[in-house]
Structure 1
Amino acid sequence: MAAPTTEGSDRETGETLLTLHRSGRLAAEYPRVRGLLAGCSEAELRRAGNLLSRLRPEDVRQAHPGVPVVSVAVTGHGTLAPLVPALTAELARHGLLLRPHLADYDSYVFDLSDPGSTLRRFDADVVLCVLDPAVVLDELPVPWTPEDVERAWDEKLGLLTGLVTRYRSTGRGTLVLNTVPLPALLPAQLLEHRSRARLGAVWRQANSRLLELAQSHPGLVVLDLDPLVAEGIAVTDERLSQYAKVHLAPPLLARYAREVGHLARHLAGRTKKALLLDLDGTLWNGTLGEDGFDVLQGDHSEPFRFLQRVVRQLGSQGVLLGVVSKNDVEPVRAVLREHPRMVLREEDLVTVVANWRPKHENIAELAGTLNLGTDSFVFMDDTPAECGLVEAELPGVTVLRAGAEPAHHVATLLRDGWFDTLVLTTEDRARVEKYQQEVERRDFLQQSASVEEYLRLLGVRVRLSPVAPSEVARVSQLSLRTNQFNMTLSRLQPADVARLVAGPATSVLVVHAADRFGDNGLVGAVFLRRAADVVHIDGFLLSCRVFSRGIEQACLGAILRHARAAGATAVVGEHRRGPKNGAVRDLYPRHGFRQVTDDGTTTVFRHDLDSEDPLPVPAHLQFTDQCGGDTP
């Protein structure tokens, strides 16, 4: 799934980065790098990574404190230095800054098992334990048989299972393993075809067991390298493997780094939420205004039907789908509803926008309707002028240029994992329906005489309760995906949430909401900690779908009442500034807290619990408090 590029764009990128590097301005101009790397070839990305990896992360942070930093520790069996530049470039493509730690050669056992190791003290967001064929091959006798390979794999898998268990018991970051591709030179050493088949079965069974580790260990990710090798990438470079112990070829390490970049983007809270598609030439192969229902006729329609199948598959997993087209709306709806060859249907879509306005205006308006930032959107169009205009007017939108060959549309859509997530929850699968309900709520608001009448007739019902074990993954996901109402920019893995639940002085509360239009599900979380006679709100998250309905006031009031009943003298909350959570910076002062400190990044507020009922439940809202004694 290589990106379409031009030699000219590569040359321009390389020259610009080299000029910035030589002039010493690369750190100061770091926000430009994301745009410069867009559409670069893999060769140019490798060159860019070599330049960018020379930057000191602290210099970039000093110039741009708002740039998200992802700390990544790299360990494994072989030499992994070539991976760092590739990771640097891949994170830069997504507007992130890499803070790397490269462990010593073949130190992964000590790194993961010893809490005092340098890697563990680095306290990375992501720990990469890179596995290569030599992990097994170095354990084989000479001569060897498939049974020797099986024994070596059994021992290695036992070791890895123990390392994962020990690391997850105390480590914070997401641990990443990978499957191990079978190098062609190994089965070639067996002269009997039956023995080769046995070796292949042993190797694949071992990789299957590696992949299954992720099912039983929350916080572990196992990347499958077989699909990458299937793209034609060599597993090893024999010269580098034998002379330098680089046991995975640099192009494979680069593709591995791309997958890690997708993961890092998700952990930094930059997962995309919605996919918007053009119609003519993108989702179907004709022009509706000229061809009518013939837009999906003939053999040439198959690539478009394939794209529709893939888009519908994404939508079934919680990606919000919509179309934005320059067309008349009724013919568009007719095709979506009635065309016998359409795979994607109107009911799969959150919205259908078809008019003759500029597309960037429609996208901006849709963002307001769905209460999403424009940087939550991926937009795909086959017209370069439309793509360029959206990029210029809405730089937060990720624009995918569907080229002239429709058979490549799916690869263009999927190559960067824009919607990847660690865990898929029940709420994900119901997200499209919930946002369709949100559009109905907006229509209802417009028909109401006032906001007060809207809220009264909406019939909001809220339940605050301790988190259940089955809800831990959803709470983690909320922390990773929520940017607007995220008071402390908390980014928590499922294991982090579980530790807070189990802690003697900490607790996690969840917020459920519903109204006349349906059940919103689990829409918020509050992280509490008791220190002496003060209750600290270490995090407060609320989905953008339920803003401005009084839910935050009801929940804060319950926390204050519980703190008072538990003998606390104050409740303290924080707002940590981020690029998107400015709208809630006055949440605490609006609800009776006073400012205590402000260091330029984080503002601390305090409520002294000096009134009997400091924050009543809004009159329009039905509130159920199920916390009991489960708050600190």
Structure 2
Amino acid sequence: MATAARTPVGEGTGPLDRLRALHREGRLAHAYPEVPGLLAELASTGDPAGPPAPDLVRAGQLLARLDPGEVLAEHPGTDVFTVAVTGHSTLSGLTAPLTAELARHGLLLRAHSGDFGSWFRDLQDTGSELYAAGADLALCVLDAHVVFDELPHPWLVADVERVAAAKLALIGSLAERYVAHGGGTLVLNTLPLQRSHARRLVDAGSRARLGIVWREFNAGLLRLAAAHDRVHVIDLDPLAASCGPVSEPRLAAYAKVLLGDELLSCYAREIGHLARGLRGRAKKVLVVDLDNTLWDGILGDDGAEGIAAATTYRGEAFGRFQKAVGQLGAQGVLLAVCSKNDREPVLKVLRDHPDMALRESDFVRINANWDPKDGNLLDIAQRLNLGVDSLVFADDSAFECGLVARSLPAVAVVRLDDEPALHVERLLADGWFDVPELTAEDRVRAEQYRTDAARQDLQESAGSMEEYLAGLGVRVSFSPVREHEIARVSQVTLRTNQFNLTTERLQQADVRALLDSPGRLVLAIRSADRFGENGLVGAVLISIDEGGGSWRIDNALLSCRVFARGIEQACLAAVLRQARDSGAAEVHARYRPTAKNRRVRGLYPSLGFAETGEGGDGTVSFRHHLAEESLPGVPAHIELTAEFTARQD
């Protein structure tokens, strides 16, 4: 008699089934490192032009039942992200998608929810959860009823204008209060105007005036983000347009659910993008396939004359995708190619084909060969001196996407398909490259990486590293951060992982607060060489005790683009000498280890610091006694200009 084989629970099933099995078995906390990959697979099944996949929200319902303490007990290094939520209506539909969206970006949600309709009290009371220490985000979720519920009956457009102006002033004052007393980022949102409100006016002229008043009100909300570094405003209008109705009438009437579950799921996705950016996890490189991704057709089979990115209906869809890719590239996203093709035909198409909106010069790296794509992605990351977690990979092949997802789980995979009209939506759905603010350095980043090829040629032609550095002509400017550099310094702390001695992340408001604090120095590192300007590439943060007898280096950071040039030695040598010349007796420093900054473990000892202790979390403390014989010098190949007093400009 045949005996049926028993399949272990959770094996051979989809990602949601796997999560359910882990939850049933009580092993979800233990297996938490698997969660981001499972959620990434679920997210890829959604409509790129609509709300997140329903199964992703179902997964969030499971994860929301998980005690964050259990996860931390199993995996102490898990990144916890604390969110306090308040609002005007019922927001229970936000918890599950918010949990899932943060988890798929590697963030463990610790949530605090206010009472129904308590948004004003929570923002007014500096003792509320919104102001609690450790809250990364304070979400104040509002809807149009905060205005319409205060109108007289019956009402006119003039009444809406009056109430909306008062409400905008109130929200603005509460935002200022949060910025002054809160520690995180306050998230507001625009308020979609629903058809049921506008249609209560029977004449077209009144409806038009209402539209004007309402758009001016929402524009005022958006301006709050421009006025405050720690205020972010999510525009719900485009989300409502793509995610479905703002609310469901019966739930709105009976349960006060004034923002529907699908809209809240889209809102949660935006919060995930914001949280990732605040943690410095924005991606840096977009790697694209070519055949049926960047153009219609297969170059090896159809030849250059048989592919299209214009002139045909399908070709025009690929052309739109190329322009979207180029738009990202113009804002500092590095573009690269990973294609199974012969290199020379690919280069000829990128140089000469009349349909191409993207050309060879738009890419910092072109890997066109027949090697496995996961290996090519590793090569691209190594050539750019970046981790693979900086990469986003877009391909139409399910096999290639699956290969990369399995072998390089840190790479974000954009799974395209045979419908090119959806390529743009799939690429942009997850905001992989979103940053708090675009800096001047971002806009010229691609050109800076292209000049690195010339530096590499010089290095390969030099007889030794000393000869290479001498020929490079490195110039370094080291001085206090200026006002226009605050955004870039914040970005350096958020996005630098390898040469980051403590990996403490600073928002713009944090940098500005340090600049305004007595006894604190925030010094910017700027570099250039014979091939051009590198811009602001690092920073050193210093605390000086009240008497000046002791200095402490709170952190030192340097972009991976300028590693191995002696820049860090030059700047820290200047710090030590300035401390001694100012009368200090010692300089303290510390190093906190992470998975990515191990290469700088020996930096301080190499500069004459002595180790003084190690904490329970692995943080190592150092001290330099500033004896003349132990002070490091500036490398001979570097021309250093150092100032420690802020310029008045």
TM-score w.r.t. the length of structure 2 is 0.93
Report the more deviating stretch, 561-570 or 401-410: 561-570
Cα deviation, residue 18, structure 1: 1.8
1:625 maps onto 2:632 in alignment: no
Cα deviation, residue 261, structure 1: 0.2
Cα deviation, residue 596, structure 1: 2.0
1:196 maps onto 2:207 in alignment: yes
CA RMSD of aligned residues (A): 1.9
Q: 2:163 aligns with which of 127, 152, 160?
A: 152
Cα distance change, pair 401–617 in 1 and its aligned pair in 2 (3 A): same
Task: State the SS of the aligned residue for 2:242.
Answer: coil
Task: State the SS of the aligned residue for 2:357.
Answer: coil
Cα deviation, residue 613, structure 1: 6.1
2: CA distance, partners of 1:610 / 1:243:
75
Amino acid paired to 1:316: A
Cα deviation, residue 481, structure 1: 1.1
Whether the aligned pair in 2 keeps the contact of 1:369 and 1:439 (CA below 8 Å) is no
Cα deviation, residue 407, structure 1: 0.9
1:112 maps onto 2:123 in alignment: yes
Q: 1:215 aligns with which of 203, 226, 236?
A: 226
Amino acid paired to 2:396: D
Whether the aligned pair in 2 keeps the contact of 1:283 and 1:308 (CA below 8 Å) is yes
Aligned residue number for residue 312 of structure 1: 326
Aligned residue number for residue 12 of structure 1: 14
2: CA distance, partners of 1:573 / 1:74:
38
2: CA distance, partners of 1:115 / 1:564:
43
Aligned residue number for residue 472 of structure 1: 486
Aligned residue number for residue 391 of structure 1: 405
Aligned residue number for residue 358 of structure 1: 372
Q: Deviations over 1:141-176 (max 9, x none)?
A: 111111111111101100111111222123221221
Q: Deviations over 1:361-415 (max 9, x none)?
A: 2221221111100110011111222222222332221122210111111111100
Task: State the SS of the aligned residue for 1:556.
Answer: helix
Cα distance change, pair 589–58 in 1 and its aligned pair in 2 (3 A): farther
Whether the aligned pair in 1 keeps the contact of 2:524 and 2:539 (CA below 8 Å) is yes
1:601 maps onto 2:618 in alignment: yes
1:444 maps onto 2:458 in alignment: yes
2: CA distance, partners of 1:107 / 1:498:
31
2: CA distance, partners of 1:114 / 1:561:
48
The answer for unaligned runs of 5 or more in structure 1 is 1-7
Aligned residue number for residue 329 of structure 1: 343
Report the more deviating stretch, 575-584 or 404-413: 575-584
Cα distance change, pair 315–607 in 1 and its aligned pair in 2 (3 A): same
1:548 maps onto 2:564 in alignment: yes
Q: Deviations over 1:544-603 (max 9, x none)?
A: 101111111111111111222222222222222222112112221222212222223322
Aligned residue number for residue 96 of structure 2: 85
Whether the aligned pair in 2 keeps the contact of 1:183 and 1:236 (CA below 8 Å) is no
1: CA distance, partners of 2:613 / 2:71:
26
Aligned residue number for residue 4 of structure 2: none
Cα deviation, residue 304, structure 1: 0.6
Cα deviation, residue 429, structure 1: 0.3
State the aligned residue count: 623
Q: List structure 1 segments (4+ residues) > 4 angstroms apart after TM superposition.
A: 8-11
Cα deviation, residue 540, structure 1: 1.4
1:272 maps onto 2:283 in alignment: yes
Amino acid paired to 1:32: E
TM-score w.r.t. the length of structure 1 is 0.95
Cα deviation, residue 242, structure 1: 2.8
Whether the aligned pair in 1 keeps the contact of 2:479 and 2:646 (CA below 8 Å) is no
Q: Deviations over 1:209-232 (max 9, x none)?
A: 111222222222111111111114
Aligned residue number for residue 33 of structure 1: 35
2: CA distance, partners of 1:124 / 1:241:
30
Cα deviation, residue 496, structure 1: 0.7
1:486 maps onto 2:500 in alignment: yes
Aligned residue number for residue 523 of structure 2: 509
Aligned residue number for residue 386 of structure 2: 372
Task: State the SS of the aligned residue for 2:427.
Answer: helix
1: CA distance, partners of 2:25 / 2:465:
55
Amino acid paired to 1:537: I
Cα deviation, residue 612, structure 1: 5.5
Whether the aligned pair in 2 keeps the contact of 1:369 and 1:442 (CA below 8 Å) is no
2: CA distance, partners of 1:232 / 1:82:
14
Whether the aligned pair in 2 keeps the contact of 1:66 and 1:579 (CA below 8 Å) is no
1: CA distance, partners of 2:463 / 2:357:
40
2: CA distance, partners of 1:444 / 1:393:
34
> Percentage identity across aligned positions?
53
Report the more deviating stretch, 586-595 or 8-17: 8-17
1:425 maps onto 2:439 in alignment: yes
1: CA distance, partners of 2:55 / 2:247:
21
Whether the aligned pair in 2 keeps the contact of 1:10 and 1:44 (CA below 8 Å) is no
